[in-house]
Amino acid sequence: MNKNECLEILNKFVLCMHHTMENLRKHIEQITALTDEEFTYVSSMFTVKKLRKHQFLIQEESEVQNDYWVVKGLLKAYHIDEHGKMQILQFAMEDWWISDYRAYHFQTPATIVIDCIEDSELLVISKQNKENLCNHSHTMANFFRKKSNLGYVALQQRILLLLNRNPQDRYNRLFELCPRLLQRIPKTLLASYLGISRETLSRLQHP
């Protein structure tokens, strides 16, 4: 590889990183505004991680030191029960956050698995960097607080849907909230997430 080819690769990488960080800034500024100086500090707290389809982000019993923001791709978080059945807790696509938050906050071994449904690119922030960022910036502390609150609300709504609604209502609600997501999830995984069989899902999609 000659010098010009190396410079071209470097320039592409710089442009890609700039685009990625600008997307992060847009994501943050949906909740709170940042000055250029603040965002320079924020961006220094993140690193990039790329994974292929089917690769693990977090495995059961592993340490969880990071929180992840999805730049592109699609991941699932799940638990395998004692009967070997997959219980899907969450999907995460572009602009969504994902981790094993129990293990992350309490520094205990992971109890869920996270892997990639598609090739994925993530921005990674460690627990220590996140704490430093929140201590240094009231703006970012407010951002993460609001994102956590929205996550709690979404989880509560999901539990209520599973407890109180029939399969058709669960499917319709997910379609209303995330129509783009439904197009990308394999039917077997979608059925598991909704707590129904693959056959029931087919009937819901083709009444």
| Structure-model confidence comparison of residues 68 and 180, the more confident one | 68
For residue 82, the tally of other CB atoms under 10 A from its CB is 5
DSSP secondary structure code for residue 73 in this structure: S
pLDDT category at 2 given cuts 50, 70, 90 is low
Q: Which domains does the chain have, with CATH numbers?
A: 3-164 (2.60.120.10)
Q: Largest Cα–Cα distance in the chain? A: 64
Instruction: Determine phi and psi for 206, rounding to 5 degrees.
Output: -135, 70
pLDDT at 14 over 60: no
Strands 86-92 and 97-98, bridge-based pairing: unpaired
**Helix runs in 101-197, H state only:** 101-106, 127-136, 138-164, 167-177, 179-182, 187-194
- For residues 168-186, average pLDDT: 84
- For residues 124-135, average pLDDT: 95
The model's pTM is 0.87
> CA–CA separation, 27 vs 161, rounded Å?
27
Instruction: Determine phi and psi for 73, rounding to 5 degrees.
Output: 110, -170
Residue 3 three-state SS: helix
pLDDT category at 112 given cuts 50, 70, 90 is very high
**DSSP code per residue over 82-105:** TTS-EEEEEEE-TT-EE--HHHHH
